Structure 1
Amino acid sequence: MPIKAVLTDIEGTTSAVSFVFDVLFPFAARHLPAFVVEHAAVPEVAVQIEAVRVESGEADASIQRVVEILLGWIAEDRKATPLKALQGMVWEQGYKTGQLKGHVYPDAVEALRRWKQEGYELYVYSSGSIQAQKLIFGCSETGDMTPLFSGYFDTTSGPKREAASYERIAKVISVPADAILFLSDVVEELDAAQAAGMQTIGLARDGGELPGHETVASFAVIDLSRL
């Protein structure tokens, strides 16, 4: 079936992994402790603090202990939903003050804009929170890219390495799985999307192959009309 929608990962796909690990994570690690302490009584923050207590199994954790848990999760790159939500809030402040600008590869910018003009629906699926996704594209180095996207998905839709997550996304966007192209740099994610019936292309920007999937080094060589 011809492609009708493109579902793309961010980290290592549209954007450099180094931006996340060398810029975003350190920024969050520096600013998150004070943010959590200062905003602990704010409802949306309080909900995430409680979620940290639940996920860590430390129901009585103090605010300071919650901060320690969060920093530990950052260090191990844990895909914890409350961590992602709080990181997103911290990053929002950074983007708003101009301390952060989202990195998106030029070839991804060009292709996404072209695909949108050609009538394809574009969606994002990343382990980062939906808020963080909107920030990286909304405050990108090339300007606001959010008008290109019809929707965003994160770990609340399920783990990225499980086929059921991709089946849920296909149902939500009301597009048959085999009419959706999923782009990622992680073979396990591509495998899961493929198992759900989606078409896949792997991004290996430094060369190499993602076994079992067509692999390219740039968005520029992806031709949706031939899939």
Structure 2
Amino acid sequence: MVRTAVAGLALVIPLAVGCDAGVGLSEGGSPAPGASDDKPGAGAEKRARTALGELRIASEGDGGGYERDKFGTRWKDIDRNGCDQRNDVLDRDLSDVGKKGGCVVLSGRLRDPYSGKQIDFSKQDAAEVQIDHIYPLALAWRMGASRWSEDEREKFANDHDNLLAVWGVPNRQKSDSGPGEWKPQKGYQCTYAVKYIAVADKYSLPVTRADHRALEDFLARC
């Protein structure tokens, strides 16, 4: 294993056979300009602090029975705009976007919020930029989504508010961890907390005590 850091984010990159080809730390890569200044407004921060104080604290379940398919169709066009959610989010989060047919994102540039790294996206190497669930699906399952209806889980999995285009490397590191176990670069922690809390509040999802403490620390960076 090789441990390195990108813009304050600790990453562990396996060098074993079978890891995704073409996805790794690029030597000479640097944070995008302003990557440490991406913060929400005072109103959003205030709402997040209030909502965090009202979120229920609970322990994680054992996760038994979780499958990605339990959260319905992947990247369903739930807003019925003719484009699936993946392409919607790429179009929203990337700059200099090139599209085919007004919907399929073929190219663009991402300022990765989790690491600050600048990523050139090409559909030929689609795994370089992935769509992350800010509140992870497997974690949501362990925190109560296992008791939701299939329609509610599908809505959650495709909700723009819970989706974010990110570099594939930190996304794989994050996996299904909550903020108590994984954190983005310092410059994005305030925004990450605001988004995470908003999703938890919207779907009445509890947080663990460790996640609650971490979210409080992240909001202190606002």
The normalised TM-score by structure 1 is 0.25
The normalised TM-score by structure 2 is 0.26
Give the structure with the higher percent helix: 1
Who wins on radius of gyration, i.e. which is larger? 1
Give the structure with the higher percent strand: 2
